[in-house]
Structure 1
């Protein structure tokens, strides 16, 4: 299947995404693209962890996930946030199905580092046939990033990494990270375009840090001959399609490639 667009919506932006944003996703579908949404849910998870007095910490931009933390993460991502996104897309006129990565073994994972991170999984395989079957029926899949290993154990998956894995498996032509910042910032200014080589330098000098690390690493892992650029954009500021362009940072394989969003 061609013209697949994977859109990762950060948890910090979901509650503030406008009706225009969701309509822009449907417009992509009407124009012949096949959108897939992968979402996070950090702020909601933090709220529920605090409510239940469960301690949580981040290691290298990833949430350390104990069994107790996982129970809350799965409840929030699959039960609350996923259905919120599904509802908003359906209210905008879309035909939508919400899934967790456990449904149909959609996201098959292995532990990243059980001793260091607990139940944090890395995607090893994606059930692309399931997603294609849904898209062929005109359905927009909305994916909560909880995965499962061969033994049936559930794992928290970084949503950026999950989106990248889905994009790689399906040979997507577009990958967009919708977040609460304009893109990669250097000295307070948003960088319009950066190459893979520049990304490594910015990580080394501390320009890229914290929650942006998983995004850029996921972007770099996704760049292929089919998908040669990845966009990081502010979901609070614009929609995906606005006069054919969006404001944000485009990560490219080489300096002469630009991301076209139409």
Structure 2
């Protein structure tokens, strides 16, 4: 039975219906997929930073993570959001276990870039897939916060989309990026249209032309990275749409499916 890595963006978490979590549980119970959830939490992090009067600074679209910011990020991600998702899965009748990338050395990290412009922002260097297999074999749905650590114990704030991409690649799993939009939206013949499929080459052109901007760039980059590292497939979809998760797991068209050029050509032939 294959894994399915589901990334829930912080902007949509509060608006996901109970049916979404019931669908996660259905996949788990029916054995059609082994769901693993990774979550973000940007909006709640920003809200708490504002309340604490800690400035939010961004560099190249990424949050600069000072020691004070990292404390807040860990409180929100490891505490508030992680346990809220576990509670919703439990309420749907499932067995979920919340953990961060630090627990059990699940996600080993390294600095995102040399120097200090981003502070404690990291990227995933390795994934402890044995831990994921063990938890799922025990009947749990892992719910993972994208906080990771390096070999010396230094903590890092990892972009949730990129953490999910690393997990999907390591588990040889499809990556489902759950958002509050129906997919990648572009202008076509004067109208806003959702791309049903997209290749890396097309997406690079759309990013270069700024047809794709903002937070969607990070999602697209995560999807591309997961494919580069061996993930089976990637999709960006609206988690509020009834049955969307089950449709994707069953191979139906939903959101924007991102695939390699070779796969796109085979589908077209």
**TM-score, with normalisation over the residues of structure 2?**
0.90
With over 3 angstroms needed to count, the CA separation of the structure-2 counterparts of 1:25 and 1:246, relative to structure 1, is farther
Deviation for aligned residue 1:208: 1.6
Gaps of at least 5 residues in structure 1 are none
1:241 corresponding residue in structure 2:
246
**Partners in 2 of 1:109 and 1:22 — Cα distance?**
29
1:49-198 to 2 correspondences below 5 Å: 49-113=49-113, 114-172=115-173, 174-187=174-187, 188-198=192-202
C-alpha contact 1:4 1:170 (8 A) present in aligned 2: yes
Q: CA RMSD in A?
A: 1.7
**Partners in 1 of 2:60 and 2:211 — Cα distance?**
15
C-alpha contact 1:228 1:253 (8 A) present in aligned 2: no
2:16 corresponding residue in structure 1:
17
**TM-score, with normalisation over the residues of structure 1?**
0.92
Of 118-127 and 209-218, more deviation after overlay is shown by: 209-218
**Partners in 2 of 1:122 and 1:15 — Cα distance?**
26
With over 3 angstroms needed to count, the CA separation of the structure-2 counterparts of 1:257 and 1:67, relative to structure 1, is farther
Q: Deviations over 1:143-173 (max 9, x none)?
A: 000000111111100000000111111111x
1:21-40 to 2 correspondences below 5 Å: 21-32=20-31, 33-40=33-40
**Partners in 2 of 1:97 and 1:226 — Cα distance?**
26
SS, match of residue 132 in structure 1: helix
- Pairs aligned (count): 256
Deviation for aligned residue 1:30: 2.1
Deviation for aligned residue 1:237: 2.8
SS, match of residue 8 in structure 1: strand
Deviation for aligned residue 1:238: 3.3
C-alpha contact 1:238 1:246 (8 A) present in aligned 2: no
SS, match of residue 15 in structure 2: coil
SS, match of residue 212 in structure 2: coil
